[in-house]
Amino acid sequence: MKTLLLLSLLSLSGCNEIREAQSNQVLTAPTREADQPTKPNKKQLRAYLNRVTARVAQADINSTFGGITNVLIELDNPTPITFHMVGVSVTYVLKSGEVFTTEPVLFTDVPANGKLLATAPNASRGTRVVANITEYESEQLPPNLNKRLGVGTMIN
């Protein structure tokens, strides 16, 4: 009987050691959240997208007869997002304020924290040029945030 009681006590103390070892492992093991970098939430992503801009960097405007040549569009991406594609519409505006024509300019492989330049077509008429982001696509964005309208600038 004393042997049985001694074995029971040894087995109980062994179980406690196993439980303590298991609880120590659980406490010291890294969690899944700590292993993964934090992803920006939708609000942060929208704030990033509002920082991406297209502007007319250069345009030679013939104020006498109208017409715009040598148009350069600059796309500024000051975000950590890499874009597969960014579409910009370049609108040529007449002196009266009417739209003469709108031409698409496509930027591909836009790097994070980068700037790109692209030439836009010349226009035979017009006295102002407006550049607006019309669409974008990135694998880093959820599907519902791809291809939304962005921010543009104007040169008079």
Sheet-wide strand order for 68-77: 99-110, 83-93, 128-137, 151-155, 53-61, 68-77, 114-120
Q: Are residues 70 and 127 in the same domain?
A: yes
Q: Does the pLDDT value for residue 148 go beyond 70? A: no
Tally of CA atoms within 13 A in the half-sphere of 61 that contains its CB: 16
Work out how many domains the chain is built from and give that number.
Answer: 2
Q: Are residues 14 and 73 in the same domain?
A: no
Q: Are residues 151 and 119 in the same domain?
A: yes
Q: Are residues 114 and 62 in the same domain?
A: yes
If one compares 145 and 62, the residue with the highest pLDDT of the two is 62
Look at phi and psi of residue 113 and say left if phi exceeds 0, alpha if psi is from -120 to 50, else beta. Answer: left
Q: Are residues 24 and 64 in the same domain?
A: no
- Taking the C-alpha atoms of residue 72 and residue 61, their distance in angstroms, rounded to an integer, is 12
Phi, psi (rounded to 5 degrees) for 94: -75, 165
Q: What is the pLDDT of residues 90-129, one digit of tens each?
A: 999 999 999 999 999 999 999 999 999 999 999 999 999 9
Q: What is the pLDDT of residues 22-76, one digit of tens each?
A: 444 444 445 555 555 567 788 888 889 999 999 999 999 997 888 999 999 999 9
Q: Are residues 27 and 46 in the same domain?
A: no
Expressed as residue numbers, the domain containing 75 is: 42-155
